[in-house]
Amino acid sequence: MKTIKKLTREQRMKRTALFMLAPAIVFLALLIAFPLGKVVHDAFSHVHLINKSMSGFAGVENFKTIVSDEHFGQAVKNTISWTVFSVLGEYVLGMITAVLLNQKFKGRAIFRTCIFIPWLVPIIVAGMTWDWILNPEFGIINYALTSLNIIDAPINFLGDSRYAMATVIFVNIWRSFPYYTISFLSALQSVPGELSEAAAIDGAGIFKRFFCVTLPQLRSVSLVIVFIHIIWTAVNFDFIWVMTEGGPNYATETLPIMIYRYSMKKFDVGAASALSTMMFTIMVILFTVYYHKRSKLSDEMA
């Protein structure tokens, strides 16, 4: 008697759960899973937009094309430094601003709004505006730096391969760090201030309080947000495309830019799909690592 009732209850739960999930699953299956399947399929086929004589099963040839591309190694390096330095910079700035804004003082709301604004700007708008501000001939920054005699000659921030990557990272940090700020801030505010005050009573300095009290509080939210941003940054296409299109001379070409170059400039959809597949696979591996880490963390917390 009891077991039967339990079964039906479980079935009912299952049905409700599936009902609730259905719309999300339909959307994801239609617009993500299905196209993704096509991409993986194309990765192992000859698909060329122009050369129709190329068709059929390709084996791993597309992967070979990609790996033997003379810019592949650099693109991998670029993707890593773009991702690592962006996320690192965003994390540090986000942390500092969150701690600052977590204090009680007049005008806090104004500062908070100002700091959050970059996140509201469309990427293409942000990219083009910075592009102009940083221009060596007409940009206000170069003008200011040269008039103040900080530099002798204007720096071509986005055009010079020595500075281009650093510059796009700088702009990316500008746009993304507010998200960290807000997340950290809300995490900080959900934790009672007594802890920090107690530490202050104990005579702990600002830095000690930060490292011993504040930082541990943010461990969980940090993990989530850093992970999400590693993914988002690594797969980001728009930002670099708007500012440098991967140039100058491939100095800022990351893997998503390379995917685009292969499909839209070289028309080799097969190779583009192969690269996409490789990227996706790496992301999944990263995700697995993260997942383990997170389960461990929540076990500890529980």
Partner 1 sequence: MMLNKRNRRISKIVTYALLVIFSLYCIFPFIWMLISALKPKTEIRTATPTFLIQEPTLENFHRVLVDAGFLRYIKNSLFVSIAACLLSMVIAVMAGYALSRYYKLKAVKLSNLAMMLSQMIPGVLLLVPLYLIMQKLNILESYKSLILAYTTFVIPLCTFMMSSFFDTVPLALEEAAEIDGCNKAQTIFKVILPLSLPSLVSTGLYAFINAWNEFMFGYIFISTDEYRTLTPAIMLFKGVNTVDWGGLMAGSVVAVIPVTLIFLFLQRYFLAGLMSGSVKG
Partner 2 sequence: MKKKWIAVLLTLAMTGSMAACGSGSGAKSGSGDKDEAKEQTVELWTCWTDGADTAKAGEEQIKKFEEQTGIKVNQTNFTYDMLHEKILTAAAGGNVPDLIWGLPEYIGEFYNMGILEDLTERFNDWEDKDALSEAVVKAMTIDDKIVGIPYEMTVRAYLTHTEDLKAAGIEVPKTWEDLLSNGGYYEKNGKYLTELACTGVRSAQELLVYLAQYDLEIASAQDDGKYKNTWKDNDEEMEKATKVFQMYQDLVDKKIIDENCKNWGWEETDENFATGITSTYVTGNWLAERETSNPDTMEDVAVSAIPYPSDGHQATYMECKPLFILADSKNKDAAFELATDMCSKEWQEAGFPDRSPRSDVSTDSKWSKDFQALADTGVTFPPVTLGGITQAMQDAIAKVLQEGETPEAAAEWLSDAVNASLSDSGELSE
Closer to partner 1 at the Cβ: 67 or 226?
226
Closer to partner 2 at the Cβ: 202 or 245?
245
> How far apart are alpha carbons 157 and 47 in whole angstroms?
38
> Where does residue 100 fall: left (phi above 0), alpha (psi -120 to 50 degrees), or beta otherwise?
alpha
Give, in order, the Cα–Cα distances in Å from 281 to each of 17, 40, 253, 284, 287: 29, 11, 20, 5, 10
Closer to partner 1 at the Cβ: 38 or 162?
38
Nearest distance in Å: CB 159, partner 2: 3
Per-residue binding letters, 140-169, with partner 1 (x by CB under 8 A): x--x--------------------------
Binding site for partner 2 (CB under 8 A): 12, 16, 19-20, 22-23, 26-27, 48-54, 135-138, 156, 159-161, 247-249, 264-268
**Residues 6+ positions from 244 with CB-CB distance below 8 Å:** 158, 164, 168, 251, 252
> How far apart are alpha carbons 44 and 117 in whole angstroms?
44
223 contacts partner 1 (rule: CB under 8 A)? yes
Q: Which residues on adjacent β-strands are paired with residue 45?
A: 57
- Residue 56 phi, psi dihedral angles, 5° rounding: 95, 180
Nearest distance in Å: CB 228, partner 1: 7
Closer to partner 1 at the Cβ: 84 or 96?
96
228 contacts partner 1 (rule: CB under 8 A)? yes
How many CB atoms neighbour CB 277 within 10 A?
20
220 contacts partner 1 (rule: CB under 8 A)? yes
Nearest distance in Å: CB 23, partner 2: 5
Q: Which residues on adjacent β-strands are paired with residue 268?
A: 48
Which 178-217 residues touch partner 1, going by CB under 8 A? 178, 182-183, 185-187, 189-190, 197, 200-201, 206
Partner from partner 2, partner 1, none contacting 200, C-beta within 5 to 8 A by type:
partner 1
Closer to partner 1 at the Cβ: 161 or 283?
283
Nearest to 159 by CA among 137, 182, 191, 126: 137
